[in-house]
Amino acid sequence: MKFKYILGIETSCDETSAAIITENQVLSNIISSQMVHLQFGGVVPELASRAHLKKIIPIVNSAMNDAGVGFDQISGIAVTNGPGLVGALLVGVNYVKGISLGLRIPFIGVNHIEGHIYGNFLEGNEIPFPFLALVVSGGHTLIVLVKAHLDYKILGGTRDDAVGEAFDKVAKLLNLPYPGGPEIDKRAQQGDPRYADFPRAMLKNRDFDLSYSGLKTAVLNFIREKGEQEVAKRMNDICSSFQTAAVEVLVKKSVAAARTYQVRDIVLAGGVAANSLLRKWMKEEAANFNLNVHFPPLQYCTDNAAMIARAGLERFRHGEQSSLELNAYPAMRLGEVIRD
Ligand code: KG4
Ligand code: ZN
């Protein structure tokens, strides 16, 4: 069976997104970020589910309109069914079951982390296997060996906080708006990375695990020690020093893993892959060892449905399809296959 136009749907957290793709093109990729959480400084699960419910139909309709494609042309639908907030995931999953049943279109559940990796394969981009993927987002920090399409070996990951979570929490400590990653990135570009010497956790360990809770606490203690005035004055320098500590470990561990497993290509995925220092430093460090670095355009780093559609396309090609029993799995792991 040929899968030409794929509709992708993403509702795992606070972005409602729908996209239409072909193998080589993203015809539309509509993303609606929920603003309702801003006043709380983080995502409120119940509010997220309600906002997805309100948005899902108009968002899918505008994705179809933008692409100029009708439902009769859609050959498959891909929907994120984990990991994420269970109520948020269920909105996407149940909506897709409904249209699949009504319009007789096959559908497939996609792992959100797998989606982030496949953000690198959009618009006909190919990456030679095997490669190393660094998945860095608000919920995940993983170093993964991708042996072939859909074939993963997890080499390491965070033992506590995700790196994106550390960016967001440090931003909150500094009274910067949510999500903190982009704000810290922006300020860090004007700051002095040597202002504060924050810890590089587990840098010396020979494994590929990481830890970010200690770095967050170090920033908290530093802020308390310096006091409000000094912190306000040196805000950009604190951002830069924190970002440098967070990124150095990601860069050094990824390159070490690529060398250990003798792969030539490193792929960045997830929201933190948008970070300007990570992109630059990883390229520089990798070049010292003749390794190539790939990362998606910014719009495919943070949550979006095009990446889900691309991962779904690959699963359809491998003969997979979900049934109406498909459920949402908030703690789904990468590579875990739940055949419903
Ligand atoms: O992939 P994503 O949209 O959602 C999850 O799957 O978690 O990632 C969101 C995370 C947030 O923590 C956000 O602060 C972070 O990605 N982020 C960044 C940047 N842009 C987004 N972190 C650092 N620098 C950035 N430029
Ligand atoms: Zn994500």
Per-residue pLDDT of the chain (340 residues; tens, 9 = 90+): 677 999 999 999 999 999 999 999 999 999 998 888 888 877 888 888 999 999 999 999 999 999 999 999 999 999 999 999 999 999 999 999 999 999 999 999 999 999 999 999 999 999 999 999 999 999 999 999 999 999 999 999 999 999 999 999 999 999 998 889 999 999 999 999 999 999 999 999 999 999 999 999 999 999 999 999 999 999 999 999 999 999 999 999 999 999 999 999 999 999 999 999 999 999 999 999 999 999 999 999 999 999 999 999 999 999 999 999 999 999 999 987 655 5
Question: Counting atoms of ligand 1 from 1, which one is nearest the CA of 274?
Answer: 26
- pLDDT tens digits, 82-95: 999 999 999 999 99
- pLDDT tens digits, 182-204: 999 999 999 999 999 999 999 99
Amino acid 38: pLDDT: 83
Ion ligand 2: residues, CB < 5 A: 137, 303
Question: Counting atoms of ligand 1 from 1, which one is nearest the CA of 15?
Answer: 3
3 state SS for the chain: CCCCEEEEEECCCCEEEEEEECCCCEEEEEEEECHHHHHHCCCCHHHHHHHHHHHHHHHHHHHHHHHCCCHHHEEEEEEEEECCCHHHHHHHHHHHHHHHHHHCCCEEEEEHHHHHHHHHHHHHCCCCCCEEEEEECCCCEEEEEEEECCEEEEEEEECCCCHHHHHHHHHHHCCCCCCHHHHHHHHHCCCCCCCCCCCCCCCCCCCCCECCHHHHHHHHHHHHHHCHHHHHHCHHHHHHHHHHHHHHHHHHHHHHHHHHCCCCEEEEECHHHHCHHHHHHHHHHHHCCCCEEECCCHHHCCCCHHHHHHHHHHHHHCCCCCCCCCCCCCCCCCCCCCCC
* pTM, full prediction: 0.96
Distance 295 CA to ligand 1 centre (A): 14
Q: Is 156 in the pocket of ligand 1 (CB under 6 A)?
A: no
Distance 256 CA to ligand 2 centre (A): 25
Question: If you take atom 22 of ligand 1, which residue's CA is the nearest one?
Answer: 181
Q: Is 137 in the pocket of ligand 1 (CB under 6 A)?
A: yes
Q: Is 303 in the pocket of ligand 1 (CB under 6 A)?
A: yes
Question: If you take atom 14 of ligand 1, which residue's CA is the nearest one?
Answer: 181
Distance 140 CA to ligand 1 centre (A): 10
Q: Is 271 in the pocket of ligand 1 (CB under 6 A)?
A: yes
